[in-house]
Structure 1
Amino acid sequence: MLDVRKLITLRAIAAEGSIAAAGRVLQYTRSAVSQQLTALESEAGTALVDRTGNHITLTPAGRNLVEHAERILVELRSAEASLSTEAEGFTGLLRVGVPFHEGPRIMSRALTEVRRRFSEMEIRLAATTDEAGADAVRRDQLDMVIVSRYGAARSRTTPGLREWVLGHDPLRLCVPADHPLANSRGCTMAQLRDEPWVVCPDSTLGRLTVSLCVTAGFEPRVTATVNDIGTAIGLVGVGWGITIAPELTPAGTEAKLARLPIDGLDTLRHNVVIVRDGDQLSPRIAAVIAAVRAVSELPSESGQGS
């Protein structure tokens, strides 16, 4: 019978791309990871990885085994959750990832409510990004993340993860309060051809912004590149340029700015909570998810939770 611990090792190798990196994640020595892999290949009776230089890729058999490992880990987490009872109380450490400068205030409200309800639980917040958050949960670096997603609201079927949409808000053009468009009911992308732009080039929203400009027939004249939406909005408030951002993202500055719709742009930002599949059966994790979703359904500020 295949050893679950060896399957976890293979999964880490697949995720990290090398034996050394997998060892760092698992807190094993490189030789220990190599030994686990060799033993697993012996048990499986076939090669599971293709070693090319320092980088490792999985063989078809290896990929198939990792897919099974994901399902096995879900069942193990579910089994562990079934051993927990509410009588034990909601204690222990909960690691939550949030994009601090990007999310609407619903995120801070939800986490504040979780702390109020479960005062015996240690909640440790960690800064993450919309792009990296889900992967951090999958690798067990975080227990839960609340991130943003753009476009369709439907849940993704990422192996080993479970998610719920909390709410949504539309994208808006952000301009300084004294901008000629500040009092307009809307605008077109073509009207923004000669504007200075503040963008987050490494983010999904940043790439979408550049794509909208190119589709409208011009390359954006970028005056600032930043790492998060909150900083971009703050620079807009002090007159540095314009940007596109979700309507409910806090400005992070006292400077005034205007937010207006862009003709033809109906993309929404969806706020999503993500945990490892199986963890949601734990009374502790389930209670936290319920608290976060309950806050997201409050009528203030955001659209309807789902």
Structure 2
Amino acid sequence: MLDLERLRALHSVATYGSVSAAADVLHVTTSAVSQQLAKLERETGQKLLERNGRGVRLTDAAELLVEHAEHILSLVERAQADLEAHRGAVVGRLTLGAFATAVRGLVPETLGRLGKDHPDLRVQVRELDPMQSMPLVARGDLDMAVVQDWNNEPLPVPEGLQKAQIFDDVADVALPGDHPLANRATVALQDLVADPWISSSADSICCDWLIHTLRSLGAEPNIAHMAYEIPSQLVLVGAGLGNAILPRLGRVTVPCEVAIAETRPQLTRHVYAVWREEAARRPAIRAALTALRAAAVPAR
């Protein structure tokens, strides 16, 4: 009989490329993963890992076993979801990924509601950009993620995931206080395309969107500086170093040196929750979606 946790360890090594990376994902030591794999080799009578430079690679036998492990782990998750659905209880553990402004603007209220209504559900939150969280949900390393896309650039959802909209969030533009258009309540985005911009990090969905949007308006983006945290972006804007896009969800205190204006056309992003199809029947998934939507009401 193949041991489920040993299969999970092998599957994680195959997915993340190394024993140490698998250990990080599984929240165990590298020694524990190595021991699981050694036991699995004895259990199967097959060599599963071979040295490859400083790392390891999977043998043909391991590759074959990983294919079966994917199906087995998927069936186990579906069985767990069905059992929870049969009980009708919101219990167990839920791992939730969310982008930065959702962590500030949605997650605290969401966790408060879940803690009050479903005290037997343990929720762990990780702050992640959608480009990071979506693959983790697809792999099974997260149960659910709060993600975003923009009205002019939809976010592709990987096969095997389901999504549901939470709400639409509006974004404004932050301008240096001495900007020629700083005294206007509404600013045409076209009038700003040649300006320097402050963006989030290059590997984020917001940076990709900003570049795409400015190029669609006929300008090659001048991304002067990159800062992942919005408070850092606003400090740079206040210093006169560029403009920034400022979502209303999770909005922080705006420095007095920064002017905020609505844009024309209005910038809107769609905020979604995504989860695996196998987990769709889990009461915890439905409860989390309900709590997220309720927490979003003040932000609309």
The normalised TM-score by structure 1 is 0.71
Q: Which moved more, 1:107-116 or 1:74-83?
A: 107-116
Secondary structure of the 1:250 match is coil
- Compared CA separation, residues 268 and 136, structure 1 to 2 (3 A): same
Aligned residues: 291
Correspondence for 2:99: 99
Query: Distance between the aligned counterparts of 2:157 and 2:44, measured in 1?
Result: 31
Correspondence for 1:116: 116
- Give the superposition deviation at 1:206: 1.6
1:258 aligns with 2:247: no
Query: Distance between the aligned counterparts of 2:278 and 2:146, measured in 1?
Result: 18
Correspondence for 1:179: 179
Secondary structure of the 1:186 match is strand
Query: Distance between the aligned counterparts of 1:40 and 1:95, measured in 2?
Result: 32
- Compared CA separation, residues 89 and 6, structure 1 to 2 (3 A): closer
- Compared CA separation, residues 290 and 270, structure 1 to 2 (3 A): same
Query: Distance between the aligned counterparts of 1:60 and 1:230, measured in 2?
Result: 50
Contact 2:103 2:127 in 1 (8 A): no
Query: Distance between the aligned counterparts of 2:248 and 2:60, measured in 1?
Result: 45
Cα deviation 1:129-149 (Å, max 9, x = unaligned): 333223444566544332323
Q: Which moved more, 1:59-68 or 1:135-144?
A: 59-68
Letter in 2 for 1:289: L
Contact 1:196 1:240 in 2 (8 A): yes
Letter in 1 for 2:262: L
- Give the superposition deviation at 1:36: 2.9
Secondary structure of the 2:284 match is helix
Correspondence for 1:282: 282
- Compared CA separation, residues 96 and 20, structure 1 to 2 (3 A): closer
Query: Distance between the aligned counterparts of 2:6 and 2:140, measured in 1?
Result: 17
Correspondence for 1:82: 82
Secondary structure of the 1:84 match is helix
Correspondence for 2:34: 30
Correspondence for 1:8: 8
Contact 1:23 1:30 in 2 (8 A): no
Query: Distance between the aligned counterparts of 1:175 and 1:60, measured in 2?
Result: 57
Letter in 2 for 1:36: L
Letter in 2 for 1:241: G
Matches within 5 A, 1:1-306: 4-26=4-26, 27=28, 28-30=32-34, 32-33=36-37, 36=40, 42=46, 52-55=52-55, 66=66, 69-84=69-84, 90-101=90-101, 105-137=105-137, 142-150=142-150, 153=154, 156-159=157-160, 161-176=161-176, 179-182=179-182, 183=184, 185-189=186-190, 191-193=192-194, 195-202=195-202, 203-213=204-214, 216-220=218-222, 222=224, 224-233=225-234, 235-236=236-237, 239-253=240-254, 255=256, 257-261=259-263, 268-296=268-296, 298=297, 300-302=298-300
Query: Distance between the aligned counterparts of 1:175 and 1:5, measured in 2?
Result: 53
Query: Distance between the aligned counterparts of 2:172 and 2:58, measured in 1?
Result: 43
Cα deviation 1:207-255 (Å, max 9, x = unaligned): 3324555664445161x42123454245435655311244545134354
Q: Which moved more, 1:99-108 or 1:122-131?
A: 99-108
Query: Distance between the aligned counterparts of 1:154 and 1:130, measured in 2?
Result: 9
- Give the superposition deviation at 1:73: 2.3
- Compared CA separation, residues 273 and 245, structure 1 to 2 (3 A): same
Cα deviation 1:79-114 (Å, max 9, x = unaligned): 123333686854554443333445673444433332
- Compared CA separation, residues 286 and 212, structure 1 to 2 (3 A): closer
Contact 1:96 1:143 in 2 (8 A): yes
- Compared CA separation, residues 226 and 38, structure 1 to 2 (3 A): farther
Query: Distance between the aligned counterparts of 1:172 and 1:133, measured in 2?
Result: 25
Identity of aligned residues (%): 23
- Give the superposition deviation at 1:198: 1.6
Contact 1:9 1:36 in 2 (8 A): no
User: Which runs of 5 or more structure 1 residues have no equivalent in the other structure?
Assistant: none
Query: Distance between the aligned counterparts of 1:277 and 1:201, measured in 2?
Result: 31
